[in-house]
Amino acid sequence: GGLNFVLRPESATFGTTNFAALTKNSGLFWHDYTLDYDQTTEESAFWYAGVPTGITVSSVLAEVYSRHSVTSGTAAWNVLMAGRQSGMVWDAGGVTNLVAAATVPGTAGQVLRQGVVLSTTGIAAAEALQIRVSRDVAADTAAADAKLIGTIIRIT
C-alpha cells in the first residue's frame, strides 16, 4: 500500500527567478514536456499535494527521472519537502534532502533514475505538502541542461 504523488513538469509552479524552463520535446515516437535545469545556476520548480486523513507516514521516497544530452558527468538534485497543518505558516522552510550524484548514462537521451529516502520530519496526515526540486549544481558535473522527466513521491 501507500500513496504516490507524480510530479509532472506540466503541473509545476515557478518562482520569479532561478526557475527551470518548461520545454516541449518532439521525438520520432514520443512528444513530452521536461523541466530543463541549467548546469551552473541552481534552478527550482515547486509542487503541492495533500496528505489524506488517516494516513500514517512512516517513510517517504523520492524518485527523480531525468535525461541528458551529454554522455559523461554526474547528475545531482535537492528535494525540499514540508508539511503544513491547519493554522501553520505557509511560507516557511522545510527539510532539504540531497539526491546523491549519479553518473549519467553513456548514451545521450537515456533515462536516469535516482532515488533518496526523504526526511519525514513535519509530514503527517491531513497536511498540505510542499515539494521543491532543484538541480544541485555544487555536486552535479554534467555539462549541459538536465531534463527532468518527472519525480514520484512515495509515502508508506
This prediction has a pTM of: 0.96
pLDDT of residue 122: 87
pLDDT of residue 1: 65
Closest listed residue to residue 110, CA positions, set 119, 102, 99: 102
pLDDT of residue 31: 97
Regions of the chain where pLDDT drops below 70? 1
Burial of 52 (0-12, 13-18, 19+ CB in 10 A): exposed
pLDDT of residue 2: 87
pLDDT of residue 32: 97
Q: Residues 103-125: pLDDT tens digits? A: 999 999 999 999 999 999 989 99
pLDDT of residue 155: 96
Closest listed residue to residue 77, CA positions, set 49, 47, 116, 46: 116
